[in-house]
A = this chain, B = another copy of it.
């Protein structure tokens, strides 16, 4: 996946999709390319505000930021993303969660 800096989000309220995942030990050949493609596709969606992602061997953690719940729902429903989600469930992920949250407060240095 591409390196990402800290997302330059606006003043709250806005929305965050928290996506922790654990990969299977095998069958992850296409995963990296698809994940990079999804990052690019998400960034082109209406209402996208930014994304942060990091991965260790044990855990991947991606948080994407959105203007509204509707923008998250539209991204979930995107056809190419739907195909990637289907492959993710069937082939790549040993486990994951998707948590949809409302950002109420933000503190910066």
Q: Which residues on A are within 8 Å of B, measured CB to CB? A: 3-7, 9, 12, 16, 18, 20-22, 52-61, 63, 69, 89, 93, 95-109
Contacts and interface: CB of A to CB of B under 8 A. Distances in A.
Secondary structure at the A interface, as helix, strand, loop or mixed, is strand
Nearest to A1: B56
Copies in the complex: 2
Contacts of A3: 56-59
Given A99-B106, A109-B95, A18 B59 contact: no
Contacts of A100: 103-106
24 contacts: A3-B59, A4-B58, A4-B59, A5-B22, A6-B21, A6-B59, A7-B20, A16-B16, A16-B101, A18-B18, A18-B103, A52-B59, A53-B59, A54-B55, A54-B59, A93-B109, A98-B107, A99-B103, A100-B103, A100-B104, A100-B106, A101-B103, A101-B104, A102-B104
A99 B49 CA distance: 14
A67 to B, nearest CB: 15
Contact of A97 (B4, B6, B18): B6
